[in-house]
Amino acid sequence: MAKGATLTCESVSYHVGDRTLIQDLSITLGWGAKLGIIGENGAGKSTLLSLLAGGTTPTTGVINFTSKPMLVHQDKDLLRGDYLVSEEISAFLAPLRQIEEELNRASEELTAGDSGSLARYSRALQSAEVREVWSAPQRIERYLHGLGLGSLSRQHRINELSAGERRRLAMALTMVSRPEILLLDEPSNYLDEQARLFLKDEIKKWDGIVVFVSHDREFLEDVPTGICDLDKSYSSQYLYRGNYNEYLKQKNDELNRWKDSYAKEQEEIRRLKNAVAVKAHQINHHRAMSDNNKKAYGARGDRVQSQISRRVRAARERLNRINESPIPNPPKPLVMSVSATKKPSQTSSLMVQLRSVKMGGRTDKAITLDVASDDKIIVTGPNGSGKTTLLNVISGNLSPTQGSVLRNTEASIGYLGHDDLFRQDIRTARDIYVSSTPDTAARITSLGLLENVDIPTCDLSVGQRKRLELGILLQGQHDILLLDEPTNHLSLRLCEELIELLHGWPASVIIASHDPWVKSQKGWRVVSVVESED
């Protein structure tokens, strides 16, 4: 692939109504750059990818690229629902076939000695080499297998696939197209460990530029050459050198400098205000002298008053300058501080009992499991092995093909699935939350949505809508919580808060997860839906 691909942003800002998502961002990326984008939910990460792809126009500033970027977005389907998998594969390969046909025509013209044929042939050959057109059929098989879709039937319709399968298929087809500039939105969501390792290796060696949004610690530690943090910064800095660990060191140093500068300025403000008050009192005290005392005080007293007045003016002028451009208070991180307002109703120790359960050919393993009232369980397994199916069997939404399931008939079950429930909902987050929760005393701001609670929910980010779902679920005070990949779409810090919150939650909690960090948490029982995992 040619090593001339570049992507630049020049003073780019983007506003939504009166909200500023991105302010004066400048980026220059050259061949080989791997940029990880991080930030709180709603900070503008997916919006930035759309700007870089040319799908969204910046409010101000300019974005330039030497080769058209290709974007796999977490919130928008690239694939057409009524198409067969085989038809979508053919559609994605069509531009590569067209390049090969152009090369063949140019070759024939070159043989015929047509004027200008050499230049056309050179351009066609370079394009074919850059896009690796001759190896496309082999690459599609490699990407499908690498991303866990090797056994996917080509005769399935796209709308018959799960959300995770659609995302993985879109990513595989986009990568087969060999764009010089590849943009990925949460690429490791819905990937098991084997697929994550495959994708991580592919991105690291990608022959071009890769920009990706992620909350995956391992991805952010192993892949990027730089980090773009869209959260508020004292120095208005967006870009940081190195991987996530190196970014953390730089960010902590910056935050400490910010806190120190803010504290010093606040101390100076207190000192100046006190000086103004004291000096003003001294001036008033001198002005209150009788005429005889003033005569006795003489010229020296006049000089003292003049000096005091000058100091008061100087202190006030300094205060005014500070107030015109004060150092902002370092922002407090968004906190998802939902808490249980009452103990779930069930006191029985056993909530669910599974005996030799099998689930429709998903796995050969027969699952036997007892779920107690305070159990914290993580369900693991490769893509397609039956994690989601097991949650649905536990909830009663599906029946097992073999074995038995006993549930506490009085237990309330809450379920968080993959679907983005409020994606097209025009109600505000506040309205949805208040109408969905029996105890409206719980503050909507506890979800970490803050100023965004009164805009249409469809205009929130995927992560913000997922927080809303979680908040509603937790306020339901269920006896059993079933959560399918709950850390998908959440910011790094919110993932930590959520797992800590769930670990102490007064209910049975069962999480299905691919996230290695989630699976490594202490105090959780790990249940695999396959006989063994590498």
| Cβ atoms of residues 196 and 383 within 8 Å | no
Q: What is the dihedral of CA 502, 508, 514, 519, to 10 degrees?
A: 70
CA–CA dist 512, 378 (Å, integer)? 6
Nearest-angstrom CA–CA distance, 266 and 149: 58
Amino acid 205: pLDDT: 92
Q: What is the pLDDT of residue 509?
A: 92
Query: Is there a contact between 504 and 343 (Cβ–Cβ < 8 Å)?
Result: no
- Identify whether the C-beta of residue 14 lies closer than 8 Å to the C-beta of residue 51: yes
pTM, 2 dp: 0.74
Beta carbons of 530 and 382 less than 8 angstroms apart: yes
* Three-state secondary structure call for residue 141: helix
- Is beta strand 239-241 parallel, antiparallel or unpaired with respect to 413-416? unpaired
Closest alpha carbon to 493 in 256, 334, 258, 338: 334
Query: Cα 180 vs. chain centroid, distance in angstroms?
Result: 23
Rounded Cα gap, residues 154 and 119, in angstroms: 40
* Averaged confidence pLDDT in the chain: 82
Reading the block at residue 415, the tokens are 């379920």
List, as own/partner pairs, every contact residues 259-263 make where C-beta atoms lie below 8 angstroms and the sequence separation is at least 24, other chains included: 259/330, 261/234, 261/327, 262/327, 262/328, 262/329, 262/330
pLDDT for 2 equals 47
What pLDDT sits at residue 14? 94
Low-confidence ranges of the chain (pLDDT < 70): 1-3, 75, 112-116, 234-235, 278-308, 331-348, 361-364, 437-451, 532-534
61 SS3 class = strand
Mind listing the pLDDT tens digit for each residue in 61-89?
A: 999 999 899 999 876 777 877 889 899 88
C-alpha distance from residue 114 to each of 106, 119, 125 (Å):
9, 11, 17
pLDDT tens per residue, range 369-427: 898 888 899 998 887 778 888 888 898 888 888 889 888 888 889 998 877 778 788 88
**Distance (Å, whole) CA 511 – CA 148:** 21
DSSP assignment of 248-310: HHHHHHHHHHHHHHHHHHHHHHHHHHHHHHHHHHHHHHHHT--HHHHHHHHHHHHHHHHHHHH
Tokens 């919130």 belong to residue: 75
